Structure 1
Amino acid sequence: MSPIITGLITIAVAVAGCAAYFYASNWVVDRVIFPPRTDDQGRNIRRATKIRPWLFIFPAAFFLSIYLIYPVVGSFWRSLFNRSGQEFIGLGNYVQMFSEEGFRVAFFNNILWVIFVPAASTFLGLLVAQLTDRLKWGNVAKSLIFMPMAISFVGASLIWKFVYANDPDIGIINAVRDTFGMEPVDVLQIPFWNNFFIMFILVWIQTGFAMVILSAALRGIPEETIEAAIIDGANPFQIFFKIKIPQILPTILVVWTTITILVLKVFDIVYAMTGGNFDTEILPSYMMDYMFRDDGRATAVAFVIMIVVTPVMIWNIVQARREMR
């Protein structure tokens, strides 16, 4: 059967199934559970009205439970078994993982990513948003800065691999060094600092995202507060740091935590740049090292990543809800 016909049949069956479910569930509520009776009709209608929203969200909640909660529980259970998945070893994978030097290096590098990338991206995005709003060609500048967001992480890594190349004829850094008579150097092999060269790729990509969100927040600041500060004699720096920043602080925090969640899931940039070599391993790439060799260890690393991401994600949701009030 043609894939197009199969897709159309699937859509038709899904739509018909949803319509049948909602019709049947409403009929059960209105006719069976709370049937219309003359003596208590108003009370039954109120009860049915309270239950009806749960009927609408039940399918989504059910499938979310299957596709989200079940894999989490299943992954944790799988992490309690050995490599073959036949022997139950409890927390053995976690004990062995925390005792390895490679895991500690990956965890330390992840901390560096979480500290540096969100801070740099948010700061540069806020700086660009403030400066471009004062320029006539600000929209052109914003478009150029936002453009890296359209590039995949692997594509961006390949671009910056040429920038970091140790050949002076290709790499910009070594071209500058060659101008001053310095020897070429492979920046991706410099211990510790090579992590920051890789991090800058994500900063380059995410600055555009931060700029767009923060630019909208800056434009939403009431002009009255700025005019009042100018009348009181405030200089541009005081207006920016004491008037604008406090008013958009919730938006800054949301941007910060959103980028933080992305950072904790980044894998492809490190894999494309160094493959995790030269002490640039992070938790996702460390997990991939064991994915095809030791499934129990890989799922243990995945569960650790989930534990680290979850508090940041919850905090981000809380901040977003406060922003919407």
Structure 2
Amino acid sequence: MSSAEKFVQMIICIALFFAVVAIILLATSKLRSRSGERIQFLAFVIPALALIAIGLLYPAIVTIYRSFQNNTATEFVGLDNYHTIFTDSGQLRVLRNTFLWVLLVPTVSTFIGLVYAVLVDRARMEKFAKGLIFLPMAISLVGASLIWKFVYDYKDKSVDQIGLANQILKSLGFDTYQFLLTEPWNTLFLIIIMIWVQAGFAMTILSASIKAIPDDIVEAARLDGVSGLKMFRFITVPSIRPSLIVVLTTISITTLKAFDIVRTATGGNFDTSVLAYEFYVQSFRSNNAGLGAALAVIIFVLVLPIVVYNVRQMRKLEGR
């Protein structure tokens, strides 16, 4: 399909969307009674629910069903695919890498963002300083991975270096290092890329929350002799706890779906694959539909508790 045909299809879809909305508005515009408002409400909600069922619920059910089938999705094999994930050495490395990603990326990104937000709060160059750490958020994960591939680029110590990291090592008199090839540390160097991107997001949300702390609370704490680390521990952190939860859960979900960095930087080689990338490999490269579906279900199961916890916290805040 050519780009022109795709563009025409996009225009048609947009036109159909506006046409459906216009039809609903015209059909319900004269309904002024309470029952008419309910009809108007249902007229908008039912199509949305139908789209959710078609685009989300149905694929989820099919994926769960296929996770109990063989590689060609033609024979029921029970829990064999899940047994493979939790017993095969290669899949266990994938789980280990994913655990490291989920453990380190949210915590380190949030910590860096929080500390940075506190340090630059009301500083003279605050906007410029925030812009520097937020800038990676404007770059796609593919772009960020390409940038860091140049940073990690490896050449023998005897020749000129392209990679910044190895140039620094060479300048200090050390041997150059294969950052993306040496196991298991290459996974940590990939994690650094995600932290570099997500720290700006954490800083932005937490900085806004810090500025929203009432001045009277801060002044009262200062009158009581609270300052420095005590102010940070007993006033700042408890006051922005809801924002911390949102940042941690959001980055955790993003990390569980990490694909671009692994695909661009290493292609999943050298024991750097994670769940989202392994799902792609098994489903579309190894043609193992059953195992790929099982990996997708595991990602869903891992994300679900985080989403539920986040929703409960938001409801508690709304109930205050």
- TM-score, with structure 2 as normaliser: 0.88
Aligned to 1:319: 313
Give the drift of 1:173: 2.4
Q: Contact 2:136 / 2:200 at 8 angstroms: preserved in 1?
A: yes
- Partner of residue 197 from structure 1, selected from 189, 195, 199: 189
Shift of 1:178: 1.6
Contact 1:125–1:209 (CA<8 Å) still a contact in 2?
yes
Match of 1:140 among 128, 146, 150: 128
Q: Which runs of 5+ in 1 are unaligned?
A: 31-44
Preserved contact between residue 24 and residue 44 of structure 2 (Cα < 8 Å): no
| Residue equivalent to 1:285 | 277
Describe the superposition over 1:202-252 as per-residue Cα deviations: whole angstroms up to 9, x where unpaired.
100011101110000000000001111111111222112111110101110
- Paired with 1:5 and 1:276, the residues of 2 have a C-alpha distance of 36
Q: Is the 8 A contact 2:151 2:163 kept in 1?
A: yes
- Residue by residue, what CA displacement relative to the aligned partner does 1:5-37 show, whole Å, maximum 9, x if unpaired? 77666555444434444665799x99xxxxxxx
| Equivalent residue, structure 2, for 1:276 | 268
Aligned with residue 156 of structure 1, among 144, 165, 176:
144
AA partner of residue 108 (structure 2): A
Shift of residue 50, structure 1, vs aligned partner = 5.7
For structure 1, which segment, 268-277 or 5-14, has the greater mean C-alpha deviation from structure 2 after superposition? 5-14
Q: Aligned partners of 1:103 and 1:273: how far apart in 2?
A: 20
* Structure number with bigger Rg: 1
Q: Hey, what's the Cα distance between the residues in 2 that align with 1:161 and 1:12?
A: 42
- Specify the code of the residue in structure 1 equivalent to 2:194: L
**Matches of 1:113 and 1:3 in 2, distance apart?**
36
Instruction: Output the TM-score relative to the length of structure 1.
Output: 0.86
Contact 1:257 1:312 in 2 (8 A): yes
**Using a 3 Å threshold, how does the CA distance of structure 1 residues 81 and 223 change in structure 2: closer, same or farther?**
same
**What whole-Å deviation, never above 9, does each CA across 1:232-279 have from its counterpart, x for those lacking one?**
111222112111110101110110000000000001101211222222
Residue 84 of structure 1, CA deviation: 2.2
Alpha-carbon distance in structure 2 between the residues aligned to 1:71 and 1:171: 43
- 8 A contact 1:146–1:209 mirrored in 2: yes
Q: Percent identity?
A: 40
| Deviation, structure 1 residue 287 | 1.5
Q: Determine if contact 2:82/2:294 at 8 Å carries over to the other structure.
A: yes
Post-superposition CA distance 1:117-171 (Å, at most 9, x none) = 0001000101111111132011001111100001111111111111112236222
Residue number in structure 2 paired with 1:211: 203
Aligned length: 310
SS in structure 2 at match of 1:175: helix
Residue pair 2:28, 2:39 contacting (<8 A) in 1 also? no
Does the 8 Å contact 1:22/1:56 carry over to 2? no
Determine if contact 2:84/2:91 at 8 Å carries over to the other structure. no
Partners in 2 of 1:276 and 1:7 — Cα distance?
Answer: 33
Displacement of 1:280 in angstroms is 1.4
Q: Where do residues 104-115 of structure 1 align in structure 2 (5 Å cutoff)?
A: 104-115=92-103
Distance 2:11 2:185 in 1: 53
Q: Which runs of 5+ in 2 are unaligned?
A: none
Map 1:170-319 → 2, pairs under 5 A = 170-292=162-284, 293=286, 294-319=288-313
The equivalences for 1:2-21 within 5 A come to: 10-21=13-24
